[in-house]
């Protein structure tokens, strides 16, 4: 068991990480592995209560920008060994990702993406519609124009991953304070000096903002303006069925995705362009909607008719922390020593988080330049260096 600290927070720490989702816990774990002592993770609710615990668990390397491909590729390598490293079963399964389209106009971009992924040593292939039936025999291919498939993509159980990292953090001496809210941050002489919470204050030289949907407001408290907005996305889960589906199926046409968990449920969702966008945490609405259930059921049974007799059991909503180019924002900001943010994954932090935490921990402890972190820094928006990723769906 992990002693989750609900006592007053320590008076001092070498680093404070805000958020106990995939990004916060991997960063704390990697900082501890690199020798940082007295790390405190502050979580306003429970472990995995934010976007991580509400995601579909997908892990793919099929992207159109090299930074996302590299991060995902390295994270997959970590997921392959994660259960052994953490000493906790995370239920990682590599059934692949089948990305499909019904639009002829998408095919050139998909072919270019395959070429880029192959240059990065990701074994993605372009498929004709008929070839998809070798992977998902009951798929409705009547309107498909093409697809891509990577057999090394997969899924993991989000709560198992964060609990595995939390246990590993505890073994390395990291303190995790749940049900603890940040109430203020003190900056002195251009650097982080103190983090105030409703359980006491922590003097610290390092603050890592991994607050997910709340990262924008946390950054604003130290004068950092993030361009992030929040979008609600919902997921639905079916009854348990005998294994019949290996890959995650995902459509870049209407945003539907679905896979089968190791317990047999169909897990999936679909994007909704009509969903409102939010910039302030108090505006978030994570209530489930009948509209989503109807849209998902119709899209699922159209694409995969076999699902027509399946009973759907439950649904939930979570937030995508979205940036203007749908790529994460990493690193620090000039003029504010000791502050770092890891946010803006646009719904894909679970698949990119492990290697992001490792790279960020090294950057924080050594100050060494990291080309991926540098390319994903906040100042890219001021410079106009924006390269949107084309395959953001869900």
> What's the rounded Cα separation, in Å, for the pair 354 and 27?
8
Q: What one-character DSSP code corresponds to residue 253?
A: T
Clarify whether residues 9 and 78 are in a common domain.
yes
Clarify whether residues 291 and 334 are in a common domain.
no
Residue 302 in 3-state DSSP? helix
What is the secondary structure of 345-385 as a DSSP string?
A: -TT-HHHHHHHHHHHHHHHHHH----HHHHHTSTTHHHHT-
* 342-362 burial: b if 16+ Cβ within 10 Å, else e: bbbbbbbbbbbbbbbbbbbbb
Q: Are 164 and 25 in contact (CB under 8 A)?
A: no
> Tokens for 157?
């159980």
Q: What is the pLDDT of residues 130-157, one digit of tens each?
A: 999 999 999 999 999 999 999 999 999 9
Domain boundary among 320, 336, 361: 320
Mean pLDDT for 321-346 is 95
Domain boundary among 289, 320, 351: 320
pLDDT at 241 over 60: yes
The pLDDT value given to residue 155: 96
The pLDDT value given to residue 102: 97
Clarify whether residues 256 and 176 are in a common domain.
no
Q: What is the pLDDT of residues 3-23, one digit of tens each?
A: 565 689 999 999 999 999 999
Mean pLDDT for 297-324 is 94
Clarify whether residues 240 and 148 are in a common domain.
yes
Clarify whether residues 330 and 207 are in a common domain.
yes
CATH code (residue 52): 3.50.50.60
Query: Which of 156, 135, 157 is closest to 147 using CA atoms?
Result: 135
Q: How confident is the model at residue 288 (pLDDT cuts 50, 70, 90)?
A: confident
Clarify whether residues 157 and 300 are in a common domain.
no
Clarify whether residues 85 and 163 are in a common domain.
yes
Please give the torsion angle defined by the CA atoms of residues 217, 222, 225 and 230, in that order, rounded to the nearest 10 degrees.
-20
With tokens 């590729």, the residue in question is: 73
Angle between helix axes 66-86 and 349-366 (nearest 10 degrees) is 90
Clarify whether residues 114 and 162 are in a common domain.
no
Q: Are 226 and 343 in contact (CB under 8 A)?
A: yes
Q: Are 295 and 272 in contact (CB under 8 A)?
A: yes
CATH code (residue 131): 3.30.9.10
**Between 388 and 205, the higher pLDDT residue:** 205
Give the range among 2-16, 80-94, 204-218, 258-272 with minimum mean pLDDT: 2-16
Query: Which of 108, 115, 145 is closest to 130 using CA atoms?
Result: 145
> What's the rounded Cα separation, in Å, for the pair 341 and 331?
6
Q: What is the pLDDT of residues 95-134, one digit of tens each?
A: 999 999 999 999 999 999 999 999 999 999 999 999 999 9
The pLDDT value given to residue 260: 95
* % of the chain surpassing 90 pLDDT: 88
Domain boundary among 283, 301, 320: 320
Total of domains in the chain = 2
pLDDT at 385 over 90: no
Domain carrying residue 17: 1-93+153-228+323-394
Mean pLDDT for 165-175 is 97
Clarify whether residues 254 and 370 are in a common domain.
no
For CA atoms 349, 355, 356, 358, give the dihedral sign.
positive
Clarify whether residues 84 and 108 are in a common domain.
no
Instruction: Output the 3-class SS for 50-111.
Output: CCHHHCCCEECCCCCCHHHHHHHHHHHHHHHHHHHHHCCCCCCECCCEEEEECCHHHHHHHH
Q: Supply φ then ψ for residue 55, to 5 degrees.
A: -95, 170
Clarify whether residues 178 and 208 are in a common domain.
yes
Clarify whether residues 3 and 79 are in a common domain.
yes
Q: Which residues contact 210 (CB under 8 A, 6 or more apart)?
A: 17, 18, 19, 21, 23, 24, 27, 341, 342, 343
CB atoms within 10 A of CB 381: 16
Q: Supply φ then ψ for residue 122, to 5 degrees.
A: -95, 125
Q: For the chain, how many residues are written? A: 394
Give me Rg for the CA atoms of the chain.
21
> What is the overall mean pLDDT for the chain?
94
């Amino acid at each position: 068991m992990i002693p989750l600290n609900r006592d007053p927070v320590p008076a001092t720490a070498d680093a404070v990480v805000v958020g106990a989702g995939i990004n916060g816990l991997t960063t704390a774990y990697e900082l501890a592995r690199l020798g940082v002592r007295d790390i405190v993770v502050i979580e306003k609710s429970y472990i995995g209560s934010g976007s991580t615990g509400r995601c579909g668990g997908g892990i793919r390397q099929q992207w159109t920008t090299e930074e996302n491909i590299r991060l995902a590729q390295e994270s997959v390598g970590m997921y392959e060994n994660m259960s052994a490293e953490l000493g906790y079963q995370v239920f990682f399964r590599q059934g692949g990702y089948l990305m499909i389209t019904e639009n002829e106009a998408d095919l050139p971009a998909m072919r270019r993406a395959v070429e880029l992924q192959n240059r990065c040593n990701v074994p993605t292939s372009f498929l004709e519609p008929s070839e998809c039936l070798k992977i998902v025999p009951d798929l409705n291919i009547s309107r498909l124009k093409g697809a891509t498939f990577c057999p090394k993509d997969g899924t993991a159980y989000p709560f198992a991953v964060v609990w595995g990292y939390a246990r590993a953090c505890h073994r390395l001496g990291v303190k995790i304070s749940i049900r603890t809210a940040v109430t203020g941050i003190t900056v002195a002489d251009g650097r982080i000096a103190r983090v105030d919470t409703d359980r006491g204050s922590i003097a610290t030289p390092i603050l890592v903002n991994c607050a997910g949907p709340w990262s924008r407001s946390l950054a604003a408290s130290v004068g950092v303006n993030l361009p992030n907005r929040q979008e609600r996305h919902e997921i639905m889960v079916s009854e348990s069925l005998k294994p019949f589906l290996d890959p995650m199926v995902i459509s870049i046409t209407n945003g539907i995705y679905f896979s089968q968990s190791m317990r047999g449920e169909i897990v999936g969702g679909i994007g909704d362009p009509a969903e409102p966008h939010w910039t302030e945490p108090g505006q978030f609405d994570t209530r489930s909607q009948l509209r989503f259930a109807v849209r998902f059921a119709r899209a699922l049974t159209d694409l995969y008719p076999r699902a027509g007799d399946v009973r759907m059991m439950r649904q939930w909503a979570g937030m995508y922390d979205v940036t203007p180019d749908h790529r994460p924002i990493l690193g620090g900001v000039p003029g504010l020593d000791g502050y770092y943010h890891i946010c803006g994954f646009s719904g894909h932090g679970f698949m990119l988080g492990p290697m992001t935490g490792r790279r960020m921990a090294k950057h924080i402890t050594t100050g060494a330049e990291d080309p991926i972190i540098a390319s994903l820094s906040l100042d890219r928006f001021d410079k106009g260096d924006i390269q949107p990723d084309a395959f953001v769906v869900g």
